[in-house]
Chain A
Amino acid sequence: MVAIKELPRDEYIELGHAACAGCGATIAIRHALKALGGNTILTVPACCMSVIQGLFPKNALHLPVLNTAFETAGAAASGIAAGLKFMGKDKDINVMAWAGDGGTYDIGIQALSGAAERKTNFIYTCYNNESYGNTGQQRSGATPYGAFSTTTPIIGKQEHRKPMARIMAEHGIPYTASISAAYPRLVFETYSKAKDIVGTRFIEIHAMCPTGWRCATWDSVKFGKLAVETGVWIMWEKEGEEWRFLGRSKQIAEGKVQRKPVMDYLKPQGRFRTLIKDSKKVKEFERGIEREWDILKQKVSC
């Protein structure tokens, strides 16, 4: 793992951006761009990153950025990739779509799936803060079972999240990863690796969101890590046909460390306040997690 002092000093997201304090998505893009470098074109659909980059006429991102409509990240990137190919520059310039979970799991899945099926040469990042942050925390297809959102305000969400990264891996793309913004060096390494692969690369980053998760901003990284340490979020990658667990999730899978109790993660977050009062629901939450572990363990071992 790269040492912190070896991380490139270049910054492609400047101070003065408009993210909330403790925003995981911002930690993630900072380290992803350090790996990709300045020869990168970004396309960003409607999401928190539309806001984080700052208000016109300024912009905190030090790269060309095409802001695009909410449902279009995969398609807009397809156009950029095609144009670069036409100009013969597709080998020199990275194309990255940077979308939220709403723009990926929900409204943007069609454009993303199409781009992957066409083997479009680009990196698609889904930073997953598990709700619609931009519009004030409505539920998404990524919102965990039982979590509060402003469109599931009383009972909590009644469905489990989609296994989005697995869905993308099953498109047969050359690289898929599921990581977390709580481990910035892993973010850097994942993008460093993805950069040199040709074809569609899908990277999902679990992105702490104190505003939506209803937890203290200064505990943001702690909660990102707790998600992994409790096994609620699983870090893995699929390179070619090979599936591997990553980081702490690897240690858990290999039995080297024990998973912490799920309650350690759920209890302090306001969004799970109703869920934790109902032991049946907590069981159902845990069942969803176990199911994902079982499926991934099979993938990794075969």
Chain B
Amino acid sequence: MSKIVSVTGNHSASWAARTAIPAVIAAYPITPQTTIVEKIAEFVENGDLKSEYVRVESEHSAMAACIGASALGLRTFTATSSHGLALMHEMLHWAGRARLPVVMPVVNRSLGPPWNIWVDHTDTMSQRDTGWIQFYASNNQEVYDTVLMLFRLCEDPKVLLPGMVALDAYILSHTFTSIEVYDYEEIIDFLPTYEAGHWKLNPKDPMAIGNIAGPEYYYELSYAVHEGFEAARKMIPKVEADFKKHFGRAHGGFIDTYQCDDAEVIFIALGTMGEEAQLAVEELRNEGIRAGSARIRVFRPFPAEQIQTLAQKAKAFVVVDRSLSYGHLGGVVTEIRSALYRSGQTIPVQGVIAGLGGRDVRHTDIKKLIQLGFDVADKGEAMPDIFYGLKR
């Protein structure tokens, strides 16, 4: 029976694995992901989760092992963070291009040097082009629900891609809230057992994954991955609608909007900062200021159309990146400007870098940034990108 458990964001991910019963879990510990895999070890040793659990010797091996199991046509799961994700990088491409629906929560943490274990989106942003679907969650229930949605989405024969759900270090990973969890029998209608088609290692129907393909094939195979993403783009609203039908919850599709209908300035961010922004918006609204918040939930496939729709009524965007593409700007603001350029929309988009390496960004900071958005809206032009809170 469904039940309410009081868990951290990390344990929400462990519970989601327990619910979805992956055939194979291969994982390696790294702060602040560790409690995900520790809880899974407990579930497995307790007999609560009948998965094969491989305690590998590195993240590179974790992903390679998931790839091996997924290539048998089995449901697979892992979790990581930061340097672990960076070490997986090669194998992320391998899973993406081999069309293997591995599902993985990633706890967002900075990269060294110096060592720093706090929230920062550089780790997942650096994996933008690996062929992984990317979701960003903003609360514990959303972590749990998104893992289940990802299995459904990624294992869809039209999609067949790996998917990650990112959750902010500590703010989510180590913070308790109550969430609703299910047994597998209760979700089987929503998430049937994974039946890979012909695309698997099978002695009765042998085929090879990944042997050399020259220039006459490679391009088309890349395009096929892209088509998988376009299929995912169509499927995401359907999967979420079906999730809502079964469990009565949804989390906003591509973009979780709050008070955006008549907003003059819209604040855009990923993850928990997007949720924090709702509080800022609420307070500004009480002062009669027409602010809105748009939390981007799906970063790949990128919701360009939804961004264009939002820009139709607003006067300015304020976009905060919790990562920095050194020598250019933040990853999110770049995508947004590119989407608007394509549609010929010219509202000012104020880029902001904030919260790197766990520097706190409070709703009071967000209010300040939104207010700055009103100045920008008045001028009709964005200022150079802002490094908010930088000490000099």
Contact = CB atoms under 8 A, between A and B. Distances in A.
Nearest to A67: B113
Interface stretch (A131-139, A176-184, A251-259): A131-139
19 contacts: A46-B83, A46-B115, A50-B115, A69-B83, A69-B112, A71-B87, A107-B57, A109-B57, A132-B29, A134-B31, A136-B29, A136-B34, A136-B38, A150-B34, A151-B38, A151-B55, A152-B41, A152-B55, A153-B41
A71 to B, nearest CB: 6
B357 to A, nearest CB: 11
Contacts of B46: 154
A278 interface: no
Contacts, number: 60
Interface in B106-128: 112-115
Interface string A57-72: 0000000000101110
Given A132-B29, A154-B45, 14 more contacts: A50-B115, A69-B112, A106-B57, A106-B58, A135-B29, A135-B30, A135-B31, A136-B29, A138-B38, A139-B55, A150-B34, A151-B37, A152-B41, A152-B45
A1 B224 CA distance: 69
Contact of A138 (B34, B113, B114): B34
A58 to B, nearest CB: 12
A212 interface: no
Interface string A18-57: 0000000000000000000000000000100010000010
Contacts of A144: none
Given A69-B83, A70-B83, A150 B41 contact: yes
Given A138-B29, A152-B41, A153-B42, A71 B58 contact: yes
B57 A153 contact: no
Contacts of A107: 28, 57-58
A153 B45 contact: yes
B112 A67 contact: yes
Contacts of A67: 112-115
A232 B343 CA distance: 71
A85 to B, nearest CB: 25
A141 interface: yes
A151 B41 contact: yes
Interface residues of B, number: 21
Nearest to B61: A107
Interface in B32-53: 34, 37-38, 41-42, 45-46
A67 B42 CA distance: 33
A134 B83 CA distance: 14
Contacts of B87: 69-71
A71 B30 CA distance: 13
A155 interface: yes
B211 to A, nearest CB: 25
Nearest to A134: B31
User: Which 9 residue pairs spanning A and B have beta carbons closest together?
Assistant: A106-B57, A154-B45, A107-B58, A138-B29, A151-B41, A150-B38, A135-B29, A153-B42, A135-B34
Contacts of A138: 29, 34, 37-38, 55
Contacts of B45: 152-155
Contacts of B37: 138, 151
A141 B28 CA distance: 12
B65 to A, nearest CB: 14
Contacts of B34: 135-136, 138, 150
B329 to A, nearest CB: 27
A273 B58 CA distance: 28
B40 to A, nearest CB: 9
A139 B55 CA distance: 8
A151 B57 contact: no
Contacts of A70: 83, 87
Nearest to B45: A154
Contacts of B83: 46, 69-70
Contacts of A155: 45
A151 B58 contact: no
A69 B60 CA distance: 13
A56 B29 contact: no
A106 B29 CA distance: 12
A46 B86 CA distance: 14
A147 to B, nearest CB: 13
Contacts of A69: 83, 87, 112
Interface string B234-274: 00000000000000000000000000000000000000000
Contacts of B115: 46, 50, 67
